[in-house]
Structure formats: C-alpha cells, structure tokens
A and B are shown apart, each in its own frame.
Chain A
C-alpha cells in the first residue's frame, strides 16, 4: 500500500511534476556495518529487476573493513553482471558512502539498499514505482513486522521520538533504509553524519512529497538486536539534532534566545533583589545567591551569544532559491473571472 506523506492535504494540483526519469535505476549499497553475504544479497535483490526489464546497476560502496567480502562480487562483475564496486579509503559512514555512490551513478533514479536484507526482494519494485512515475521520494515500511518484540519496541520508541522531533511528520520506518529517490531531490538534501536516517524528514521539510510503501519484512531481518550503549546514546543525540535542524536551522537565535532569555531574566531578577537589599544596608559579600544570580546571567549571555553566532552563519550562507520546493501549477479552466490579454 502506498500512502503519500506531507504537511499538505492531498490535492491533484500538488502532484509532482512529470519528470522524465528514464527506465533505469542505480541501486546504491553502502557497506558499513554488519553486511551479509554480498553475493547472495546481489543475486536475491537483482532478480526482480531482471524480470521487470528495467535497466539497473548495483553500486557497492565499501569501507576498508569489508573489502574481504568483495571477491565473489568481483567475479560476478567480471562475468558481466551490472555491478560497480567503489572501495573507500577510510570508514566514512553511510551518508558519505551514499553521496559517493550517487556521484558516480549512471542513472537518475536511485534506490538505497542496506548491505543486509530488510524487506523481501519482490517489494523493491513497489518501492521504486512512485519515483519512476515522477514522485520525489518513496520509502519502504517493513510491514507487517515479524521480528522480535524487542526490535519492535526499540523501533517504536525511536519513531515516537523522531516523529515528535520532526514536528509530527509520521514516517513509520525511517530505520529501514530502503528508499527510492530522484537524483535532483537527493542532491538537494543534506547528507552527512548519521542523518541519512532522517532523509525523508528533510525531504518533507523542503516541501517534497514522500510516499511510504508497505513491504514485507525479510526473514533475515527477524533476529533480535541489542546494541551497545554508545549506539543508543548516538541515536538520542541524532533525535535532538533533528529537533533543532527541523525547527531552528534558519533562526537559531529563537532557540538559544529562549534558553538564554529565561536564564538572563532569572539572573537579573535575583541581582535586582540583591541590589535592593544592598541599598537597604544588607551585606552582599557573604550571600551565595549573588553567585547564582551572576551565574544565570552569564549563562544567559552565553546562550544568546551562541544564537547570534548561529544567525551570522545562517546569514552569510543563505542562498537564493534555498531549501524549499516551489513550482508553478497548472491552470484550471473555470468560468469565474474575466480574461484579457497581456
């Protein structure tokens, strides 16, 4: 089932432009963490493309740690399979690997695929279909879920936090990683660090419509997963970063000013009371609350100053036609209003 997600109600006038995307797709596979057997992965996930008649290429972008997995893939490539292998000189993370793959991709539609199975191979074409029709982006949602309760619980908590940080946009499975996206949309979105997970949120923020496609969960994705505490901490920090980026990227002073303003006002109130008491003859030298007042004042000034730094960075880097989708819509024939030539 495909469901469009966006801030706006569905309206035919808002349909995506009919962009010619061609009949071929570049499948980007960043090989960073817990990769499965890459040869098996390729053989399984290339099958639906072969039978569809769609042109395709697989681009494996591989960190040094996993170069030892490449021999079977290279044999397949040498035998004429549409495989390209990019060996990356250092561990760079999924976002960077995807960008490198996109830069070298031959086609204008990308399908991102983790190096381990997430959804059944047959569902890949369903994920791809909205983008081939001209949509900006579509993301797979593993549904129905058949993995352990622990995975689902972790997933649910993460999505509750992420959706709330993203301002209520409800992507149900940002962790899936199977996404189809047009080249022009991909290139207009920020891709760095661990934020590749939140690509659909960034697309929605810029005004693109994102389709979510339900896809059966792969049997290889069923096993329970427990990560190290540092992974959970990074996810929490990612969500906090997402909260800031979705709301305050263009107006950082609103965020820092709120924190700093509260601190400044409280500190100022304390100092005003102390000043009044000093005028009435009370000593200040032995009053620790003076320290608290000054501390709050200092913290407030620091927060506001940081907000101003943010504003400077935004101001000097803002570009015309920045991060937003604007398009001219088609005209509706109607009886209202007269017509005159210009």
Chain B
C-alpha cells in the first residue's frame, strides 16, 4: 500500500491578529484528509493577540503545533525554528498574512514529487503597489538572480516546499530567509523548480517590510556570494582583493618613480598612495589567512557536510527547472 505523504506547514507569525483563524481554515480546506499534515504556527514575539489566536486554534485542531519564540527574533529565526520542529516528509513554508493561498500547496507537493528538493512559488499576478513593492521587488530579484546565479524569479514569495532531506541540511540565520533557494543551492546543491501561485492583498494587520530593507538585502547578497563561492577557500577572495590593491600600488609606485627620477617633479602624494594601497593589499592577504584559519578550526570540529540528497532523479550540482 502506498504511504500517504506527510506534510509539515510552517507559518511564522508576527502581529497577525485577525489572520490566524482564516489561515487555519484555508490550510484545513486545502489539505483535508488528502495528506497527513501538521501546521506549525510559530509566534515570533507578537505584541497583539496573535498568540492567543494561535492557542485557541490549537485547542480546536489537534494537527496544529503552537510554538512561541522567547522574544521577537525575526522571520528567519522563526522559520528555522519551525523547520527544526517539523516532522513531515515534505515541509511547506508560507506567510501568515493570507497573501499566499494554501490551495496552492498540493501543486507544490506534486512538483516536488517529480524529483526536486525545493519547489518555490512565484506570484504570477501580484496584488501589490507598483512603486513601493513591485518595482523594488523586481530590482531585488534581478540582483539576487545575477549575484547568486540561481534563477528564481520571486525570492520574496514565502510559499515553498522542501524535501525532508533538504530541511535537515540547511541552516538559516541572520536574514537569509529571503534567499532560501540560493542558500540551498550554495550549501547542498539542491535541485530547484518553480511553480506559479496565487497572490492576494493583505486582509488584516500591517506589512512589516518596506524600502528600508534594501541595504540589508545588499549586505546579505554579499554574504551569500561569499558563502557560495569562497566558503571553502576564503583566501582566494581576499588574495584577489589584495592583488588588485597591489596592482594599483605598483601603478602609482612606478608613476611616482618616473615623476621623481625622470621628470624631477614632487611625488610625495603618489608615493603615499602607493604605500596605502600596498598596505591594503598586505592587509587583505593577512585577513584571507585568518579566514582560512577560522574555517580550518571550525571544520575540524564538525563532521563532513552531508551533501547527499536522496531525491529520486536529483542531479548533482543543483539547477532549476520550470
């Protein structure tokens, strides 16, 4: 007899009073008895009545697991906490603001069962403001795609499905929830697919995001690039920076010598610039060695990373199909 897929739906919640019951109804209607499922509602230190609604919902529905964070840690930590508590073969993440439709979950699961490790939803018809949401999101997605090399078209959509093996292997921290597909590819070489999902306007509560996150996204992208390309050999990154600094130092050095010796012109400014740039080059190489040392000591304490994803038909090295 074929065993039913078990689903864990993880929903981080922060000040979503008024949305919880409708969310639960939506999940229940979408999943019904088709799957064995659990709904992990993770309250991330809400200051409104969200927690009360979660507790009441859990009192009425035994498949709900109500979790509470000790304080507000942010969406990444709340999502990671939910992933760590999930027990299903497949884990779904989604927002608690009812902008995702739980009815899309079966589509994601079907796609996942084709042999992918992660299926990301993309909002086909976004119901957001053009200038403050859609345009920044479009720019951010292009940047993320360009920097990470993972061609996900909608990184801001939280509705995603993950195979158990992947959930056990990824570790989110800081604000990396925005880049889960890129993290999954960078760290374990996950195979990724995208499916279109519905999108609705927020029905209650307030949005927690605005244009202010742009700087954070840029910083996180830099981190992600480093993790993806240089985690195992950070010296390469720093030595490359050092080489550029040394090259400019050489350029200014030669120029200052020519000015002083051949042309008899004052060259103190160029000579000083040479010293500064050479110092920067040396500093970067030293930092690279320090980074290697940090990685060496950390890795020596850990078992080798488990990069084996047992999904049928998974390809090495990751990739994306639609």
Q: Which residues of A contact B (CB under 8 A)?
A: 6-9, 11, 13-14, 204-209, 250-251, 253-254, 257, 284-288, 290-291, 294-295, 298, 301-302, 304-306, 308-309, 311-322, 324-342
Contacts and interface: CB of A to CB of B under 8 A. Distances in A.
Contacts of B227: 311, 315
B284 A312 contact: no
B204 interface: no
Contact of A331 (B24, B55, B269, B284): B55
Given A7-B72, A328-B66, 13 more contacts: A13-B68, A285-B259, A294-B277, A298-B276, A312-B294, A324-B81, A326-B69, A327-B68, A328-B68, A328-B85, A336-B56, A336-B57, A340-B63
Given A298-B276, A298-B280, A208 B70 contact: yes
B18 interface: no
B269 to A, nearest CB: 6
A6 B73 CA distance: 13
Interface of B: 21, 24-25, 28, 36-38, 42-43, 45, 47, 51-52, 54-73, 77, 80-81, 84-85, 171, 173-175, 216, 219, 222-223, 226-227, 231, 234, 237-238, 241, 245, 259, 265-267, 269-270, 272-273, 276-277, 279-280, 283-284, 287, 290-291, 294-295, 298-299
Top 5 nearest A-B pairs (CB, nearest first) are A207-B70, A325-B70, A334-B56, A316-B298, A332-B55
A207 B299 CA distance: 29
A298 B58 contact: no
A331 B66 contact: yes
* Chain B at the A interface: SS class: helix
Contact of B273 (A290, A312, A326, A339): A290
Contacts of A337: 21, 24-25, 56-57, 60-61
Contacts of B283: 302, 305
Contacts of B38: 342
Nearest to B172: A318
Contacts of A295: 276
B173 A342 contact: no
B280 A207 contact: no
B241 A301 contact: yes
A331 B173 contact: no
B65 A328 contact: yes
